[in-house]
Structure 1
Amino acid sequence: MSRDDRQPERLTEDHGHPTHDGTAVLELRPGRKTDASPHLLDLNRHVSAEEYAAVKARRKMALRQLLDEHLHLHDMRVRTLSVRPRGWRDFPPPESVTLWQAVRITVVRFFNEHPLADLTVLTLLQITFILAWRLALKPAGIFRRRRPARRSTLAAPAFLTDPDRPPTDRELLPLLQPISLGFERPPGWRGALLGFAAIAVLLILPIGAYGSLGGLKRLASPVIEQGSLGVSMLHAAGSAAQRHDFDEAQRSFRAAEAHFAAAKEKLGKTGRTLLTAGAFIPVEPLASAAPMLTAGEEIARGGIALTSGLSHLDTTAEPTTRLRLLSGYLTSSLPHLDAATEAIRRVSASSIPEAHRSVLLLAKREMPILTDDVRRGADIAELLAIAFGADEPKRYLVIFQNDAELRPTGGFIGSFALVDVNRGEIQNLDIPGGGSYDLQGSLRARLISPRPLHLINPHWQFQDANWSPDFPTSADRLAWFYEQSGGPTVDGVIAITTSFMERLIGITGPIDLPEYDKVIDADNFYLETQTYTELEYDKEENRPKQIIADMAPIVLERVLEADRQGLLEMIDLFDRSLTNKDLQFWFADDGLQTQAAELGWTGELQPADGDYLYVVHTNIAGQKTDRVMEESIRHETKILPDSTAIITLTLTRAHHGRDGEPFSGVRNVDYLRVYVPQGSLLIDAAGFTPPSPTLFELPEPGYVTDETLRIQEETTKIHRDSGTRIWQENGKTVFGNWVQTDPGETSVATLVYQLPPGAVTVERVSDDGLDRLINAFTQEGGSKVSYSLLVQKQAGANPPGLIASVDFPRGYYPIWQSRDLERDDRGRWNASMTLEGDAMIGVMAHSPH
């Protein structure tokens, strides 16, 4: 009978006897009938005696077939001629007695001998578990769908009642949705599938999983051997690199790469696939082999590129060519280091023996840092190559800042140089013997100096042009003053401090100056040069800075001719000096300036979304006393429940000079400026001692006020009780006042001010949407406080001690912090450090109320 000729069976009221009367009637409850679909199945259908007998007959037939197969198997064993062992292909195995034994033995041999057996078992396992998950199982309590009340009949999918029609995607999709069933076996076809899944697991796990484990163990020995050799070569490469023997390091890296490649080859495609899916079987230590081998191989490849670049530092090529070669090799190592970082991230600590887990954790922490350092090194090398004339000649104004007489950008500008460079070679070096004072007679501009400088000079000149702590602002002003004094336009300004020169001479070696009867080294550089420029110079010639002019070319020549080790030491010195601002750059070219700013070379005032602090000292008539000054900063933040934040800033300055001692045995006179978030309100100030008004000089007629200074003066407010001046500058609010400290004494100055709205955020934790789900897991609610503090260090200043404390409202406790915080006996959370460079402190606190 064709499909079109068939008529759907109907269920009658006696539940189970179909009729073909054209009307289907199904009794759902007594006394009520309704039309029924042809696709309704009766789950409570009674099985007749005839049907039960037919089922028993089919079972007996299956047993007879199994017996026939057993007899046939015995007959085949008797008649088979043995030629040679065929392994798992030899069916039936001689030792089998029943068909079940034959199949089982053959399957076991297949998993032990076939090269793709391991992959097969994992594929079957994966399919089985996916089926079990998608069709029957799911984690309890997540996306739970309520089971409908049990009904006497259910609508079956059409493709189940019509075997000639294949199912559509729309019909299959609802069947694949997970349903929470616990351990109850579901009825119908879902129960059959779950039963199949359970049987498949029981069959596959004993046969396949342990067979796979055995295969992996056979792989382990040669893999471990090659991997161990690779690790030893990495250790050898690292030792050679520390000795700066980069040729030996490169050979060791290449040997390590070969060993790791051999280990991966031993592992093979099957092993790698197994290890990728190793979570399905108990081989977690082996499952980490693949990413660990990948990490080792990529580290070796990155090391080859690194050492190749460092080895080129020994060439006789032009300095800018060597820098660009170094940048190229460093850049080429980055993809390998990134790949190694990712591979190490994938290694589970639990898969590593406990004795070696600390090494793995160290690698997880240090590899990203190493990669960032290499990336930064590549950028620095390329920028230096461009800055030193790789593409075109450059001309720079170099200023020497004496950090013993502290000024906003690092120190008093006693000397300067005009330097022309091309392809990294010095074409011209001009250092006036009279220093910065040589420009006074040729300065055309007549500007009134900033008010505090009137203590020594009411006229603004080149040596005092670094008045702003924002180095780009001061550098631009210095270039302008130099041009106004008859100098040429420059491509940039480079500022170096006395401390930088001391450390540089420590690398290049002592300098013999027989005409001065001196040998200058790192230890006596400051004292010998200061003594000559202040006391010993020829008063008739009046060239006190000539010793700097005679010494500088020797230092530069040694820098340019340095060997590989010397260059590496200088690169490290440059990096540290850029961090603590003993070395700063400003470029007239906007592109170079942007790159330098991204590397942190430019010494600019940084923007901050939260709290901000920059303490700036200016030594005015305090001689060379700042090297013997010790400072500590205590920054206390009190946060109120309404997010108002009150800051108490305490600055302690100790003068360790001895009265009457040359250069440092006098009073330190400091004009103090404190830069804080714009809009901060000064509440109180104490501990300030301004000089007598009679000591300030007045400018001569004809001098005018700089426009920027004029705007600041017009908007400046004065705190009545302390005389503290308050103005806005570079997007910050500034508090300015005087602190004077005698030798052997200690000065303490205090500022109390309120941060502007928005500097501290207090917000309620939402109870809706995603936040509600997160709170359910974290058991959080209530409100949280977010606070951050950016502290900038002044260039040239001795690193001060910093204690930053945060006092949260009652009931708040830190849940995240950028640094380790300790709680004191007053309940405040404190962070302590020595401020070697700019620092960021962040903390978030939570209250359940």
Structure 2
Amino acid sequence: MINIMQNDGGGLPKINLDEKLPIQTGESSILVPKIEVLQENVSPQPQVKSGKTKKVWLMVLIFFSVFLIYNLVVCFLIYQKGVKLATSLNQLSVAAQSKDLAKIKVGLDQTNINLGNFRTAYKFIFWAKILPFVGPYVKDGDHAATAAKAGIEAGQIVVTTIEPYSDLLGLQGGVSPILGAKTGEQTTQDRIDFIIKTIPDLLPKIDSISAKAKTINDEISQIVPNRYPEVYKGKKIRSQIKTIQGLVEEVSGFIVNGKPMLENAPYILGMDSPRTYMILFQNDKEIRPTGGFMTAYAMMKVDKAKFEPVSSNDIYNLDAQYKPSIRAPEPIIKYIKGPYILSQNLRLRDMNWSPDFGVSMQTFSSAISKLGLGNIDGIIAVDTQLLTNLLDAIGPIGVPGFGNFSTKIDPECSCPQVIHELESFADIEGPIIWDPLTGKIILRPPNSDNRKRIIGPLMNSILANAFGQPKEKLPALFEAGFKSLIEKHVLFYIFDPKVETAVSDFGLGGTIRNYDGDYLHVNDANLGGRKSNLYATEDVNQDIKIGSDGTVTKTLTITYKNPMKQDGWLNSVLPTWVRVYVPQGSTLITSEGLDAKTDPYDDLGKTVFAGFFQLRPEGVSKITFEYKLPFKVSKNYKLLIQKQPGTDGFLYLIKLGKHSEEFYLKTDKELKIGL
């Protein structure tokens, strides 16, 4: 303690360091109290090793730099190879358009090389398939490249296969084409004979092409169009992918089903023994369920692909020999009237009532067998569109005793001259007067004894001209025949079950198909409207709505139009019985626009909505059906539309959400829409 003492002598006080001061309590001290600092058990901070951290970051930087450079180099390499591939594809396209086989071969080989180089470069980014966003696009690229490879290989097989037929297909530059080995005057018949004889050599190659087509279809179908934009830089992307997918699937099916058809072609053409067919002429200007009113017929023999001349006869003459025994469908009885007032049994000429050509011909062939016409091998139906297609390819022809025929538009009917002449010959009206004493006809309209005898000579002249064409016209002739087949202007019903199956699978049997998905077939029957279908058209609009639970509701609107005036000859009021075939079990919600209708019923494995209306000249009729499908959809919506034979490409519009598609229905069409 420190004690301060007073100095007696004045001056500074003394400090006694030994004296203890008493402890004072209760009084504030002027001293600063001592503060005890609590000591915590704090671990010492480690010393940062700055050198090691820099090395880690440097390694990361180097890795990403190398990775970036690698990808830039690979992408540039892929781009280079892609440019070369695109160039070779363009050159191949130009070669194909030139129809020069030699150039096509070179183009295929060069494209194959460039495609190989592209695929090699593309493999360097295969690792990206595992990435969540980029991966699917990389996979799509691989699918497209694999499909392209199979496509090139298929193209090489096709070129080798068709080389002997190069002049038939209008191709140039083939090495010693067999068909052109003689002269340019070699006839179509000679070429057909050669084709039939070489079918056995074609079949193994068809197998190879089918395998490649399957690979292409399998790869292309795995690409998801909906992950791509609708439009990019003014070009349609998504719809183009869907179009390619649909085309590939269609071609693949065509090739697969083409083999059985080729295998059975020798049978149809009488290569082993002569065949006899009934040729039915269906007038598509008077539309009926299988393509037209059965107006005439002829018997034709085919022996080793050679067609003997035919003579035609009026279906009414055949009908006069037939004793009806089957009750006619109610619409025929009610609206055609005429002979059905006396007897309600079905006439031969109306037996193509089923939209399925095979079903109709079963009924028809059974009936004509009772008239001694059962010794035939099948029935082939043709319509007037086949005539015009062939005449477009051949040019004007002369028919002895009947004059000249062409496809030049006749102003009297605004139709091809050949159609005008056929209708003029057949439809001259007037009274028939009998001699009361002898019973002989003394006055009747021209041609009333056989209004359709012109058809036989016309067909003979067309066939003679077709089989005598020089090679310059063969491609157009081949295209006309093929177009008529796939557009259902020629239908086959062959009595041999195996051959009939091949014909039907190839799409030439007019069959109502089974289908796993949505389905539509609009079928019209002219029940007494003269030849008004020459002018009538129809637009078909399908508005499809899919609910959150996958329920599909459709509104089908069919707009019929006849822009021409009534002429008292071809064009008049058109009474029509319309049938709409939809998936079996579909529920009709409402229908509008029909003058008369029936309750929905089932036929040919479908549910049918049907009714009657009339379309007037210069008039419009609109029919609407709203219905619900019997199944639900989730990821994809599929629709098969089957064309009615004899019709000529009506306009169809499909709407599903943002998806809209418009097309002319020239043949059966399948649509697949991702949801």
TM-score for the superposition, normalised by structure 1: 0.53
In structure 2, distance between residues paired with 1:524 and 1:467: 30
1:581-624 CA-partner distances (Å, limit 9, x unpaired): 33333333333333333333332233456665433221122111
On the 8 A contact 1:671/1:737 being kept in 2, the answer is yes
**Counterpart in 1 of 2:332?**
453
Query: Does residue 513 in structure 1 map to residue 399 in structure 2?
Result: yes
How far has the Cα of 1:502 moved from its partner? 1.3
CA contact (8 A) 2:144 2:220 kept: yes
Given residue 457 of structure 1, which amino acid in structure 2 is its aligned partner? P
Q: 1:320 aligns with which of 189, 192, 196?
A: 196
Residues 426 and 202 of structure 1, relative CA distance in 2, 3 Å threshold: same
Task: Look up the match of 2:643.
Answer: 793
Residue 524 (structure 1) shift: 2.0
Q: Which residue of 1 aligns with 2:419?
A: 526
Distance change in 2, residues 1:561/1:300 (3 Å): farther
Shift of 1:670: 1.8
Runs of 5+ unmatched residues, structure 1: 1-194, 690-721, 763-783, 806-816, 823-830
- Pick 1 or 2: higher relative contact order, CA cutoff 8 A, min separation 6: 2
Give, in whole Å, the separation in 2 of the partners of 1:514 and 1:732: 48
**Structure with the larger helix share:** 1
Asked if the contact 2:396/2:404 (under 8 Å) is kept, the reply is no
Alpha-carbon distance in 2 for matches of 1:686, 1:295? 47
Determine the structure 1 residue equivalent to 2:579. Answer: 673
* 1:623 equivalent in alignment to 2:530: yes
Distance 1:229 1:445, change over 3 A: same
Question: Are residues 1:742 and 2:593 paired?
Answer: no
Q: Deviations over 1:318-352 (max 9, x none)?
A: 232355555554543455566778899999x9xxx
**Number of residues paired by the alignment?**
558
Measured in 1, the distance between the counterparts of 2:622 and 2:141 equals 61
Q: 1:142 corresponds to which residue?
A: none
CA distance in 2, matches of 1:724, 1:560: 49
Worse-matched range after superposition: 371-380 or 505-514: 371-380
Distance change (3 Å), C-alpha of 1:205 and 1:732: closer
- Is 1:245 aligned with 2:114? no
Residues 1:639 and 1:457: Cα distance change in structure 2 (over 3 Å)? farther
Q: CA deviation at 1:743?
A: 1.9
SS state of the match for residue 623, structure 1?
A: coil
Tell me, yes or no, if structure 1 residue 410 matches structure 2 residue 283. no
Q: Could you say which residue in structure 2 is the equivalent of 1:438?
A: 317
**In structure 2, what is the equivalent of residue 396 of structure 1?**
277
Answer yes or no: is the 8 Å Cα contact 1:461–1:481 preserved in 2.
no
Q: Alignment partner of 1:320: what SS?
A: helix
1:469 aligns with 355
Q: Percent identity?
A: 22
- Would the alpha carbon gap of residues 288 and 511 (structure 1) be closer, same or farther in structure 2, given more than 3 Å must change? same
1:759 match: secondary structure? strand
Q: Distance in 1 between matches of 2:636 and 2:222?
A: 32
Structure 1 residue 492 and structure 2 residue 370: aligned? Answer: no
Given that residues 495 and 585 in structure 1 are in contact (C-alpha distance below 8 angstroms), is that contact kept between their aligned partners in structure 2?
A: yes
Cα pair 1:644 1:760 within 8 Å, conserved: yes
Shift in Å, 1:482: 2.8
Once residues 505 and 481 of structure 1 are traced to their aligned partners in structure 2, the CA distance between those partners, rounded to angstroms, is 34
Q: 1:642 to 1:504 in 2, by over 3 A?
A: same
SS in 2 for 1:747: strand
Distance 2:216 2:125 in 1: 18
Distance 1:562 1:361 in 2: 41
1:740 deviates by: 2.1
1:546 to 412, 434, 453: 453
Aligned ranges for residues 85-164 of structure 1 at < 5 Å? none
State yes or no: 1:821 paired with 2:673: no
SS at match of 1:447: coil
Kindly indicate whether the alpha-carbon contact (under 8 Å) linking 1:326 and 1:378 is maintained by their aligned counterparts in 2.
no
Q: Matched residues in 1 for 2:590 and 2:520: separation?
A: 17
1:419 aligns with 2:321: no
Pairwise CA distance, 1:402: 0.9
CA separation in 1, counterparts of 2:456 and 2:290?
A: 22
- Kindly state the Cα deviation for residue 358 of structure 1 after the two structures are TM-superposed: 9.4
Q: 1:598 corresponds to which letter in structure 2?
A: D
Cα drift, residue 401 of structure 1: 1.2
Separation of aligned partners in 1, 2:346 and 2:285: 21
1:126-158 deviations in whole A, cap 9, x for unaligned? xxxxxxxxxxxxxxxxxxxxxxxxxxxxxxxxx
Once the two structures are TM-superposed, the CA of residue 741 in structure 1 deviates from its matched residue by 2.8
Please give the alpha-carbon distance, in whole angstroms, between the structure 1 residues aligned to 2:397 and 2:303. 26
Contact 1:309 1:325 in 2 (8 A): no
Q: Which residue of 2 aligns with 1:305?
A: 157
SS of corresponding position for 1:584: strand
Counterparts in 2 of 1:527 and 1:738: CA distance versus 1, 3 Å = same
Which position in structure 2 is the counterpart of 1:383?
261
Contact 2:291 2:647 in 1 (8 A): yes
AA at the equivalent of 1:554: S
Structure 1 residues 272 and 413: alpha-carbon distance in aligned structure 2, compared to 1, 3 A threshold:
closer
